[in-house]
Each structure stands twice: as C-alpha cells, then as structure tokens.
Chain A
Amino acid sequence: MTVATFETTLAADRPRILVEPAFAAAGVAFLLMIPPTLAALLADDRLHLGVDIWTKPLKFQVALAIFCFTMSAYARWLPEGVLAARWWRRYVVTVVAAMVAEITWITGAAALGTSSHFNTSPVGMGLYALMGFLAVWFTASTLVLAWQIARNRRADVDPALRTGLVLGLVLTFLLSVAFAGYMSNSGGHLVGAASEASGLWPMGWSRTVGDLRVAHFFGTHAMHALPAFGFVAGRALAPRWSVPLSWAFALAYAAFCAAVFAQAVAGRPFLPALG
C-alpha cells in the first residue's frame, strides 16, 4: 500500500492511534520487545544499583511504545498532505532509527550486565555520548510535530486542544532535554546517598533522597497532560476562556515540573509522606 492510499483509507477503518505508519509500527515493535524482556527478568537474578537489571530496559520499552503511539495518534492533527510528504517520511525514519538504536543499547547493556547510562569504560562513554545525541534527536520530533500542528488551521480542530497539543509537545522537548541533560551532567539520578531497593512503586523513585527522574517523568509527560487539559477545556468552555486557560495550565504545569526539579536538586524525596 502506498502512503497516499494509507492516508486516505485511514480515517475510515483504522484505530485512531495508528495514524502515522512509522511511529505506529515502531510502537508495536517496542511492545513486542516486552515479553522476552519479561522472560529475562524472570530468569535473571542479577541486580544493577540494587534493582533488577531488566527493570530499566522494560521501563524504556514501555516509555518508547507510549511515545510512539502518542506521536502516531497526534499525527491526525497534521495539516493535509504532511503524512505523505517525502520530507516527513524521511525524517520519521531517522527518528525511529534513533529510538531503535537507543533501546538496542539499553537492552544489550542489561544482557552484558553493564551500565547503559553513566558507563565509565571508554567504549561505554562513547556510546553514552552517542545515546545522548540520539535521545535529543528523537525527542526533537515533538517540536516538528508541534510546528506542523500549529500550522494547521483546519476548523475541526478545537483551538484549546490545539493550544494544549502545541504547548505540550514543545514543553516535552524543553523539559526533557533540560532535566535529562542536568541528570546526565550530575553523574547519576539520585541527589544524596541512598539504596534504591525500596523505591516508590511502580516508578522506583527514591523515598529518602532527591531523585531527578521525577522531574524528567513529569516534564516528558507534558505532551499528555497539556493536550488532555486542552481537550477538556475545549469541551467545557468557549474558546474565549478555554484558550487562555490552556496557556495558564501550561505555565502552571511547567512551574510544577520546575518545583519538583528544585526539590530533587535540594536532595529531598518527591513524596516523603509515602516513605
């Protein structure tokens, strides 16, 4: 099936989450990595920094699958013709290739029993640097999607939803790169000395010291929180109110992420009450 026919048959009979073919296919591929990784988790007794060595590949497989299906679903708000455009098809292939390289190294590092992030061997450091570049490359796809959705003036897209989509996708890029970049430069995700054995379920965040992954998590999920807010606001209110409210929510959300980040940098746990 050519891309053009894919796009035209799509609206009628495809689930709305499978709109962008490359992202949808990558999402399915990452989901299919989960069962063998679970089998490895079941068979393996090795630990890495106090948690099962397969926890991390599993988290990244789940996270990348969610990212891919989100990008695929949001692609329905692209302007007409973009999905089939040659530049888009080529660009999306590089994004998916970066994600595949990323998950291959993270899964492979677990199999080898070594660190994928913060690896200190010469080869490991080189791969870690390359991974950082690839991570920024594929995360930047949220900016491209935001730019294209902002360009789309189709009347059937609610203005508050569009505001949420564009701001959410932009914030996801800015906050992810800022928080992950800081984490990368600080040599680990914990601020303070602690064991990770009893982290907050299911994320494994520290209950006793600062954990930079909390801010990374909320920052990256701006692409879900802001569009969800815009969608609800657009349903409930007139654009005169819903659009400014979506902007206000974006600001509040960014402030919340910054506060959670400052909390971790200060060495305080996210939810000490549950400790």
Chain B
Amino acid sequence: MPLDTAFQTVNLLALLGWGALLLSWRAPIWAERIAGLAVPALLATAYTGLVLAFWSRAPGGFGSLPDVMALFTMPEIALAGWIHYLAFDLFVGAWEVRTARRERIAFLLVLPCLVLTFLFGPAGFLLFTGLRAARATQARFVEAGR
C-alpha cells in the first residue's frame, strides 16, 4: 500500500472514532466499543506492522533530540509516529467520555476537552483534568455549606 493511501486511511479511521465520541451522549456503549477499543486496536495493528517492518532499518534513536529527529526523516517511521498520536489521542478521548459519564459531568463541558484532545492531545487531557479538579473543589464547598 502506498504510504499516502495508508495515511488517508488511518486519518479516516481516527475521524470515525472521534465521530463516535461526539455522539456518545446518544450512544455511549457504541462510542466505547468504537473509540475505546476497535479503532485504537486497528490503529495499533497498523503501527505495530510498520514498526516490525521498518524499525531495524530506521536511522537515529531515542537517545537525543537530533536522534529522534533523524528517526522521523524515514517516511514509514514518521507515519508510524503519526498513527501513535491518532491511536493514543483517541484512546484518551474515550477515557474522558467514560470518566465524565461516571462522574456525571455534563457532555457539553467535556466537548471542549475533546476538541482540544483531538487537536493537541496532552493539552486536552490537561483541560479535562482541570475540569475535574474544579468540580471536586466545588463539591467540597457544597458539602461544607450543608
């Protein structure tokens, strides 16, 4: 498969997962199946295949910033790195939705976290963590007021 086709395919897959998360307020079980398991597992399969096939031939390594930059000069490894982002960002998105449901956080509040996780993974995780902290603080005040 040409790398460009592979790139388009994994992007489409990831979008499917994020679509499922957007609809999770209507269909939480399917969102969990699709975004929490199926799509990350498919992406992980593609990632593992690329690493098995190309890692031993890749330049660079994990030891220094120039090493890591050299690693990503190989298109197949760069694609694997991109799939790594897609898979784990989506997995974190699914975790946010799951955690929010368990803690009864309104979906509208989770939505900005999902958008940020989709675009800038760790920043979205940070926002969601901040949201939970704020709610925990608020809950203490409510308890103290009783």
> A139 vs B51: C-alpha distance in the bound complex, in angstroms?
31
Tell me which of B1, B46, B56 contacts A111 (CB under 8 A): B56
Tell me which of B6, B46, B53 contacts A44 (CB under 8 A): B53
**Per-residue contact bits, chain B 71-94, to A (CB 8 Å; 1 contact, 0 not):** 000001000000000000000000
User: Nearest Cβ distance between residue B47 and chain A, in whole angstroms?
Assistant: 8
> A44 vs B57: C-alpha distance in the bound complex, in angstroms?
11
**Per-residue contact bits, chain A 217-236, to B (CB 8 Å; 1 contact, 0 not):** 00000000000000000000
Within 8 A of A (CB), among B11-54: 44-46, 48-54
B52 touching A36 by the CB < 8 A rule? yes
A35 touching B54 by the CB < 8 A rule? no
A35 touching B1 by the CB < 8 A rule? no
> A39 vs B10: C-alpha distance in the bound complex, in angstroms?
13
Q: Given the complex, which residues of A lie within 8 Å of B56, measured CB to CB?
A: 111-113
User: Nearest Cβ distance between residue A29 and chain B, in whole angstroms?
Assistant: 14
| A39: nearest chain-B partner, CB-CB | B49
Q: Given the complex, which residues of B lie within 8 Å of A46, measured CB to CB?
A: 53
Knowing A42-B1, A43-B1, the reply to whether A36 touches B49 (Cβ < 8 A) is: yes
A113 touching B49 by the CB < 8 A rule? no
User: Nearest Cβ distance between residue B41 and chain A, in whole angstroms?
Assistant: 9
**A110 in the interface, Cβ–Cβ < 8 Å?**
yes
A39 touching B50 by the CB < 8 A rule? yes
A37 touching B52 by the CB < 8 A rule? yes
| B57: nearest chain-A partner, CB-CB | A113
Within 8 A of B (CB), among A17-63: 35-44, 46, 54
**Per-residue contact bits, chain A 82-124, to B (CB 8 Å; 1 contact, 0 not):** 0000000000000000000000000100111100000000000
Knowing A42-B1, A43-B1, the reply to whether A111 touches B55 (Cβ < 8 A) is: yes
Q: Given the complex, which residues of B lie within 8 Å of A39, measured CB to CB?
A: 45-46, 48-50, 52
Tell me which of A36, A44, A113 contacts B48 (CB under 8 A): A36
| A107: nearest chain-B partner, CB-CB | B52
> Residues of B with Cβ closer than 8 Å to A?
1, 6, 44-46, 48-57, 76
A–B pairs, 29, beta carbons within 8 Å: A35-B45, A36-B44, A36-B45, A36-B49, A36-B52, A39-B45, A39-B46, A40-B48, A40-B49, A40-B50, A40-B52, A42-B49, A43-B1, A43-B6, A43-B49, A43-B53, A43-B54, A44-B52, A44-B53, A44-B54, A46-B53, A54-B52, A54-B53, A107-B52, A110-B52, A111-B51, A111-B53, A111-B55, A111-B56
Q: Which 3 interchain pairs have the tightest Cβ spacing?
A: A39-B49, A44-B53, A36-B48
